[in-house]
Structure 1
Amino acid sequence: MVKQSISPNVRKTPSGPRSYPIIGCFPQMASNPLQFLTNAAREYGDVVHLGPIGPQQLYLVTHPDGVKHILLDNFHNYVKGDNFKDKDFTLLVGNGLINSEGDAWRRQRRLLQPAFHSRQQIAAMVSLMTNVIEELLEQWRSIENTQIDVAAEMLELSQKIVIKALLSLDPNSSETAQIIQAWHTVLGFHTDRIWAFFKVPLSVPTPKNVRFLQAVETINTIVYRLIRERRQSSNDYDDLLSWLINARHESGEGLSDELVRDEIVALFVAGFDTSATSLGWVWYMLSQHPNVESKLQEELATVLGGRTPTYEDIPNLKYTKMVIQETMRLYPAVWILSMTNVADDEICGYHIPAGSMIVLSPFVTHHLPSIWENPDKFDPERWSPERSAGRPWASYLPFGGGPRQCLGDVFVTTEMQLIIAMVSQHLRLKLVPGHPVEMDTRLALRSRHGLPMTLEPRKSRELTLQNVE
């Protein structure tokens, strides 16, 4: 039941920058959204009115108290924003968890939760991940002292890991290559449309629309064939496709082929983008902070001593995780979220009328000087237990928060720890001197010009020096 969280005497309305009829602050925001939203929060406070967007009023909420109210305390009052209702996005993900609401979402969430948080499932995934990562390492060792675009490499690696985890497809198979190529087409399509004020309907056969529809059809053809084959097979597969096929609701009802397909595609959409984008920024930050990289090497030498990590090693890679957390604070892959409130609400003392569009920006919240000391500084040790104590719940949102927090948070963090540990023990990645590094906000928070880096082999003594000492 939606909670009407507004006292009758409160009608305080938030202020904000100058806006225009119908389009509000869209022109200013579209040109440089990170700078615009950061400035708006620092100038106008915890809740900012950004004017109208069509028939809706647009508000930015950045303070952890307001964010917690939306994501946790009164989350029943909020549904996903219009970006999740676009026909092109719905065509891609269908009625999977990422796009569902209400009772359907709750049923699907309960069904999928154990697949991503049970010890047995995560342990099985670690072995799968390390096998795929080892293949990448073998390729990289054969081209040492050459340049690669680490952003592109991390994207392909994460895609292969997710496809293997979801479908048990060989990472080097033609079908994996087809899915990855189709997804690049889908990604490019959404990247071009994300800030477009007018979007050409999919019914209009423009070249981009045709390529997008063909890419979705390629994904559908492969996934539906695998579903049919898996239902007819007596073999055991330790992947998420089998989990979904065998899963049952409390009523004993299983999932239709269509819903299994929707969940697989939705998990693919959500499963690789955060890790790939964040890993690119991790390698960039390590290349710019040799003191952090040195501390990371000390931990890897102590915990692993040059060997491949196992599931049991994950809790001991504490500093590795701190590097990840700090990178995701500075560069959250999902840098913006939007939703609509069903009923009137009160946020941080401000009246928000029903039907408004609410924007949350993890990037802005992660850089609030009132919450974070030296917010622009890369400081992994701010994640130590001592320095983390007392930090507001909603001050850190790389995976969202509350009941709708990303199901794959443990999967993604574990994957990143393994990749960083395995690669860093053997190779040092150095940014090509003079390469411009700028944030691209068109979809996930990527590096606009890629991240070209040189692969430098580590000397064997680096792996054991700290142990000897």
Structure 2
Amino acid sequence: MLDFAIFAVTFVIILVGAVLYLYPSSRRASGIPGLNPTDEKDGNLQDIVNKGSLHEFLVSLHQQFGSVASFWFGGRPVVSLGSVHQLRQHINPNHTTDSFETMLKSLLGYQSGTGGGATETIIRKKVYESGINNTLKNNFPLVLKLSEELVGKWKAFPDSQHTPLCAHLLGLAMKTVTQLALGESFRDDAKVLSFCKNHDAIWSEIGKGYLDGSLEKSSSRRGHYEKALSEMESVLLSVAKERKGQRKQTAFVDTLLQSGLTERQIMEDCMVFTLAGCIITANLCVWALHFLSTSEEVQDKLYQELEEVLGSDPVSLDKIPQLRYCQQVLNETVRTAKLTPIAARLQGVEGKVDQHVIPKETLVIYALGVVLQDSDTWSAPYRFDPDRFEEESARKSFCLLGFSGNQTCPELRFAYTVATVLLSTLVRQLKLHQLKGQVMEVRSELVSTPKDETWITVSRKG
């Protein structure tokens, strides 16, 4: 029996950890090339830890064994797919759930509503997505206002001043997500800072402490994490009670309150949206501005599109679909940064990829970080080149991977909207410049994050 730390790692690695308790382990030999377990109990867990992240482990695994490879987690065989060709063949065993949401709820110990069947799952997913869409429509002027405030602050900086992207853009994401999700009471900066403190404590342990088992080895860290989680849950429950029955229906929580969900389910969905929405939005914006700072040509091309589509007007929700090059910039940001490097599904029925049979109830990992920089799919895969998305083949591959189209997770769609507003405001007023000598290192966890603070300088146009 694996101890708690190993179970926790299981949740992170497979993104559907809670499901695994419901199915017997498949012991059938798959015949897929890959690693033998290095430990009878833990499988290849130590190999993953030694590589530093699951993504780095998968990069090494596919380099050694090809685009279809296997390894062991505990006593369970795991199959990883590392190319668009193989992913296209794979039968998705569950179209009704979002892997990122399932992963977060498993890590947080949230199980309410997971056993209600496919119909309940679909209904709850629609409520969640419509809640995010509605709050963007109802609060778009606020999204624009917050971006304009940040750009105004940057305009006041001297041209030589170093601007810390991670700190500023996490602040923008936190203000945007909390106010849109939980309402106008989060216009209070002190309230946002308190929320941010607990958010960071929870996310840091989800991103690392569960992966290497270190959280369970430190009672003080465990206590700090549980205190932050409890405080954040209390805040979310309090907000839901305060907004229940009020006439003004503008926030994400308001949609949930009108949906018939239980108080517990509302709290859980608010937790998932605030956790995932903040971290994905912040890192999409950080990487987008970093890559723009490395290319004056891309900045100029984006500026021209903004001038042609918007003129002197601010961006509006109905104009965003017309900003095609801006969409290409964000797509290329997600691809180059490997924004979400891993997804996974449990094989619902026996499947086949190439000549390999994948038995029912086998865990299948989508090594997205590997696929996003596969030279067979992307020319010059390590180069930031938004023009590649002018080709239909690139757009189709991106859609297949779940980064565009109907399968895009709602938090990423939300992040695209916020990032588009920021870019449309920023690029028309300022030029971004890369800080010479800065080396960018990546932490490839659940969301790819710069290892250290990322700096740029800005200068006013004209």
Task: Report SS of the residue matched to 2:447.
Answer: coil
- 1:379 and 1:131, CA in 2 relative to 1: closer, same or farther beyond 3 A? same
1:168 equivalent in alignment to 2:183: yes
The match for 1:397 is 402
Distance in 1, matches of 2:126 and 2:33, equals 40
Task: Report SS of the residue matched to 1:437.
Answer: coil
The match for 1:291 is 297
Distance in 1, matches of 2:354 and 2:136, equals 39
Distance in 2, matches of 1:437 and 1:79, equals 30
The match for 2:94 is 75
- 1:128 and 1:174, CA in 2 relative to 1: closer, same or farther beyond 3 A? same
Q: Alpha-carbon deviation of 1:317?
A: 1.6
Indicate if the aligned counterparts of 1:14 and 1:47 stay in contact, CA closer than 8 A. yes
Distance in 1, matches of 2:417 and 2:96, equals 32
Indicate if the aligned counterparts of 1:65 and 1:348 stay in contact, CA closer than 8 A. no
Distance in 1, matches of 2:104 and 2:154, equals 41
The match for 2:58 is 37
- 1:431 and 1:25, CA in 2 relative to 1: closer, same or farther beyond 3 A? farther
1:87-143 CA-to-partner distances (Å, cap 9, x unmatched) read 7x224x56478x9974442231132333345xx654334222102212222322333
Task: Report SS of the residue matched to 1:398.
Answer: coil
Indicate if the aligned counterparts of 2:44 and 2:74 stay in contact, CA closer than 8 A. no
Q: Alpha-carbon deviation of 1:211?
A: 1.3
What is the aligned length? 430
**Which of these residues, 139, 151, 169, is aligned with residue 154 of structure 1?**
169
Task: Report SS of the residue matched to 1:311.
Answer: coil
Indicate if the aligned counterparts of 1:148 and 1:452 stay in contact, CA closer than 8 A. yes
Distance in 2, matches of 1:69 and 1:55, equals 26
Indicate if the aligned counterparts of 1:164 and 1:171 stay in contact, CA closer than 8 A. yes
Overall identity of the aligned pairs, in %: 17
- 1:183 and 1:390, CA in 2 relative to 1: closer, same or farther beyond 3 A? closer
Indicate if the aligned counterparts of 2:343 and 2:367 stay in contact, CA closer than 8 A. yes
The match for 1:462 is none
Task: Report SS of the residue matched to 1:266.
Answer: helix
Q: Alpha-carbon deviation of 1:278?
A: 1.7
Name the TM-score, length of structure 1 as normaliser. 0.81
**Cα RMSD after superposing both structures:** 3.2
**Which of these residues, 129, 133, 155, is aligned with residue 113 of structure 1?**
129
- 1:427 and 1:38, CA in 2 relative to 1: closer, same or farther beyond 3 A? same
Distance in 2, matches of 1:206 and 1:101, equals 37
Distance in 2, matches of 1:395 and 1:149, equals 34
- 1:407 and 1:95, CA in 2 relative to 1: closer, same or farther beyond 3 A? farther
Show structure 1 runs of 5+ residues with no match. Answer: 1-9, 248-253, 460-469
Residues 334-413 of structure 1: pairs in structure 2 closer than 5 A: 334-384=340-390, 386-388=391-393, 391-392=396-397, 395-398=400-403, 405-413=408-416
**Which of these residues, 194, 197, 203, is aligned with residue 181 of structure 1?**
197
- 1:345 and 1:42, CA in 2 relative to 1: closer, same or farther beyond 3 A? same
Q: Alpha-carbon deviation of 1:295?
A: 1.0
Q: Which amino acid aligns with 2:278?
A: F
**Which of these residues, 70, 76, 96, is aligned with residue 56 of structure 1?**
76
Q: Which amino acid aligns with 1:40?
A: L
The match for 1:447 is 450
1:130 equivalent in alignment to 2:144: yes
Task: Report SS of the residue matched to 2:456.
Answer: strand
Indicate if the aligned counterparts of 1:168 and 1:237 stay in contact, CA closer than 8 A. no
Indicate if the aligned counterparts of 1:66 and 1:348 stay in contact, CA closer than 8 A. yes
1:27-80 CA-to-partner distances (Å, cap 9, x unmatched) read 443325444423432442331012x211211221123344345564x3369996
1:436 equivalent in alignment to 2:408: no
Indicate if the aligned counterparts of 2:105 and 2:272 stay in contact, CA closer than 8 A. no
- 1:127 and 1:69, CA in 2 relative to 1: closer, same or farther beyond 3 A? farther
1:245 equivalent in alignment to 2:248: no
Distance in 1, matches of 2:113 and 2:177, equals 17
The match for 1:139 is 153
Distance in 2, matches of 1:289 and 1:300, equals 17
Q: Which amino acid aligns with 1:156?
A: G
Indicate if the aligned counterparts of 1:371 and 1:395 stay in contact, CA closer than 8 A. no
Indicate if the aligned counterparts of 2:347 and 2:361 stay in contact, CA closer than 8 A. yes
Q: Which amino acid aligns with 1:132?
A: L
- 1:354 and 1:213, CA in 2 relative to 1: closer, same or farther beyond 3 A? same
1:205-247 CA-to-partner distances (Å, cap 9, x unmatched) read 81111111121122122211211111143x3131111111112
- 1:127 and 1:68, CA in 2 relative to 1: closer, same or farther beyond 3 A? farther
Distance in 2, matches of 1:421 and 1:80, equals 31
Distance in 2, matches of 1:135 and 1:71, equals 46
Distance in 1, matches of 2:413 and 2:300, equals 26
